[in-house]
Amino acid sequence: MHKRNRLSRSRDFDAVYRQGRSTSTRFLVLYWFDREDDPGEPRLGLAVPRAAGNAVSRNRIKRQLRELWRSRLERIPSGRDYVLIAKPGLPEAIQANGFDWLGERVDEVLQKAAA
């Protein structure tokens, strides 16, 4: 995923949390915020809490979520910032159900956000 498609500053995350909207599923929470000042490409920030596992599993989840996001980038509305949060239990569910299952969960939360 390119740098222009990432949220990296704390104030960007805070703006999405405070001014944005949210939706959730069993394993993922998605916050989004419409940027009026910069209607460019969509940007994503990831948050994987310590409750989701050790550092190795958290980083694996982040890599997988970045790859899924990158592959769906053309279908995601531009001009928005997103924060995707993994809930505890996601690493075990991915291990049991596979990478394609995770893609279905990301699609599910994106559809809920679009509605």
Residues contacting 107, CB < 8 A, separation 6+: 72
Mean pLDDT over 3-30 rounds to: 91
Query: What is the helix (H) or strand (E) element at residue 95, kind and residue range?
Result: helix 90-97
Is the pLDDT confidence value at 3 over 90? no
Whole-angstrom Cα Rg for the chain: 13
All domains of the chain, ordered by start, with CATH? 3-114 (3.30.230.10)
Mean pLDDT over 82-102 rounds to: 94
Q: At what angle do helices 90-97 and 99-114 cross, to 10 degrees?
A: 120
* pLDDT of res. 106: 94
Are 85 and 29 within 8 A, CB to CB?
yes
Q: Is the Cα torsion angle 65, 68, 69, 70 positive or negative in sign? A: positive
Are 86 and 27 within 8 A, CB to CB?
yes
Calpha distance 113→43 (Å, rounded): 15
* pLDDT of res. 21: 94
Calpha distance 8→16 (Å, rounded): 12
Mean pLDDT over 60-85 rounds to: 92
Give which of 27, 18, 23, 114 is closest to 64, Cα–Cα. 27
